[in-house]
Amino acid sequence: MCNSCRTKVSSWVRFTSSQSSRRKPFYITTPIFYVNAAPHVGHLYTMVLTDVLKRWQVLNGEKAILCTGTDEHGMKIQRAAAQASTPPKEFCDLTAETFKSLAKRAELSNDHFVRTTDKDHKEAVQYFWLMLRDRGYIYESKHEGWYCVSDETFYPETAIEKRLDPFTGRTYMASQETGKEVEWTSEANYHFRLSIFKDRLLDFYKANPDFIVPATRMNDVVKWVSEGLEDLSISRPVERLTWGIRVPDDESQTIYVWLDALINYITKAGYPWAPGKETAEGWPADVQVIGKDIVRFHCIYWPAFLMALDIEPPKQILTHAHWTLGRQKMAKSTGNVVNPFFALDRFGVDVMRFYLAHDGGISHDSDYGNHFIVERYKKALQGGLGNLVSRVTRPKIWSVRNAVTSASTGQLREPDKSTVEQIDMLRSLPGDVSMKMRELNPGAALQAIMNTVYETNKYLHISEPWVRAKKEEDRETEQKRVERTIYYAAESIRITGILLQPYMPGKASQLLDMIGVEKARRNFQDAQLGADEAYGEANAPVGKGAWDALFPPLSVET
């Protein structure tokens, strides 16, 4: 790039935090997944969590963009490819395809799948480097320290400790934070002036108290930054690391994998931007979803890199907890993992999406187990939601459509105490769910939806419409009571069905077909009590027995 072009484009970057007059799309990202090994169910959880949040925006009528992808550079990949006797690019191609397949199987509604080996990403990274260098944030220096290949990062002396391998008796130095082995490294490379961003970062956190969710991790980040920041080594000598993007104008150095990887989020948002186009493809990200183990990189390094070029940081970062197996962290390195493809084959995509969203942790880890999935399926889906749909749609002694018509024409009887409680619950549900979503807590939102299902089943049990429908004495009065009960039970199915679409796209669509909700009436604005007067005639089979129900018995339960 010639100097005049650099100067011209550099002037564009100074205005990247300016707001376009056009409304920008909602932009949400998963982390890009490291391809040194196959995905596990923890990766599936991150995908599902992100997709639920994206689909929620679409449900609310917003244009939303979801970006996911794979992180394919670094020493870990270089070593993994060597051990597999496979060229690095070929190794990455195979594993990246597996992550693509997982996204498709999970019904991820992603708009982009970025790979750090993509040409447009390489160009964005090298341009970003040049802008940092031109602004004086990069300098060359000798670096000595403890480097962790597994974590792809240097750790200060205060962050390492000596450990003993109980199986071999070997002692080694390891990161206190991750437990991964570190090695002493001395090399000449480039550094980013991270230390000078301490006050600016602290001011940013103070001005944006909801930047990191949950708040406990924000407190951790503020503590880390307050204790001081060291300048960050952002390149590796080519003789140590060949697999990566080369430093512009210095072929002897490879760009540090985390600087390379983080830039993916703006690569697919159109970086580098022409004037006035900064927000056209979604930047700044509205939410970036990550696991709690990569908070330091996304909540300290990433905003500092962006601030250096006057680019607005993401609005929020949702940091979720981990899935454990046998109370031990799932990790590719130890083999303590669950194959997500096997889980999807066994339980189905909607069931797995439901289970992960419902039981997955934000603040605290969750333990995974097939018996937990079976238990959740039986209680929540088969015995809860599926049972409710069958109880309302299958009986021939009443008509859902007639009940809806009576409600729309003001012919329902005055509500009794249990019906008043049902009405209040249905009126408050959309707002409660919306609030939980704004708090970036899809699990709590889902639990609120399911609580409505459970309470509606109780409402049916108390009201006993199947008994009242068969009474001969005072028949007209009893029929009106039946219609009242069926209407408010059907409204529960309709409203919860609409709200469940981000979680279980397939099953929610089937449910709404079973009670005859038109495709055009399935948005958030329709999830209000009495908002739809046209449904009630089934557009899909409601079934007759257990095996053709919305949620049939599991063929294999353990």
Which residue among 317, 347, 377 closes a domain? 347
DSSP labels, 382-402: IIIIIHHHHHHHS-SSS-HHH
| pLDDT number for residue 328 | 86
Q: What angle do CA 105, 110, 113 make, to 5 degrees?
A: 95
Residue 293 in domain? yes
157 and 31 in a common domain: yes
The two three-digit tokens of residue 505, written as one number: 């796209």
Write the pLDDT tens digit of every residue in 325-366: 988 888 766 778 899 999 999 999 999 999 999 999 999 999
300 and 425 in a common domain: no
408 and 376 in a common domain: yes
Tens place of pLDDT for every residue, the chain, 558 residues?
Answer: 444 444 334 333 333 333 434 689 999 999 999 998 899 999 999 999 999 999 999 999 999 999 999 999 998 999 999 999 999 999 999 999 999 999 999 999 999 999 999 999 999 999 999 999 999 999 999 777 788 877 777 787 788 898 988 878 888 888 887 788 888 877 889 999 999 999 999 999 999 999 999 999 999 999 999 999 999 999 999 998 999 999 998 999 999 999 999 999 999 999 999 998 999 999 999 999 999 999 999 999 999 999 999 999 999 999 999 999 988 888 766 778 899 999 999 999 999 999 999 999 999 999 999 999 999 999 999 999 999 999 999 999 999 999 999 999 999 999 999 999 999 999 999 999 999 999 999 999 999 999 999 999 999 999 999 999 998 888 889 999 999 999 999 999 999 999 999 999 999 999 999 999 999 999 999 999 999 999 999 999 999 999 999 999 997 654
Q: Compute the distance between CA of residue 409 and CA of residue 431 in angstroms, rounded to an integer.
A: 26
Q: What are phi and psi of 153, to 5 degrees?
A: -155, 155
Residue 535 in domain? yes
Closest CA to 58 of 432, 534, 498: 498
| pLDDT number for residue 23 | 84
Residue 558 in domain? no
Per the structure, the count of domains in the chain is 2
Q: How far is CA 406 from CA 447, 471, 531, in A?
A: 31, 20, 14
| pLDDT number for residue 555 | 78
Write the pLDDT tens digit of every residue in 101-145: 999 999 999 999 999 999 999 999 999 999 999 999 999 997 777
Range of the domain at 284: 3-347
Based on C-alpha coordinates, what's the Rg of the chain? 27
Closest CA to 127 of 225, 287, 13, 296: 13
341 and 373 in a common domain: no
In this prediction the pTM is 0.89
| pLDDT number for residue 7 | 39
314 and 401 in a common domain: no
Q: What mean pLDDT, rounded, does the chain reach?
A: 92
| pLDDT number for residue 165 | 82
482 and 375 in a common domain: yes
CATH code for position 445:
1.10.730.10
Q: What is the dihedral of CA 356, 36, 253, 238, to 10 degrees?
A: 170
| pLDDT number for residue 152 | 72
Number of other CB atoms surrounding residue 172 within 10 Å: 13
CATH code for position 154:
3.40.50.620
DSSP labels, 319-378: EE--EEETTEE-BTTTTB---HHHHHHHH-HHHHHHHHHHH--SSS-EEE-HHHHHHHII
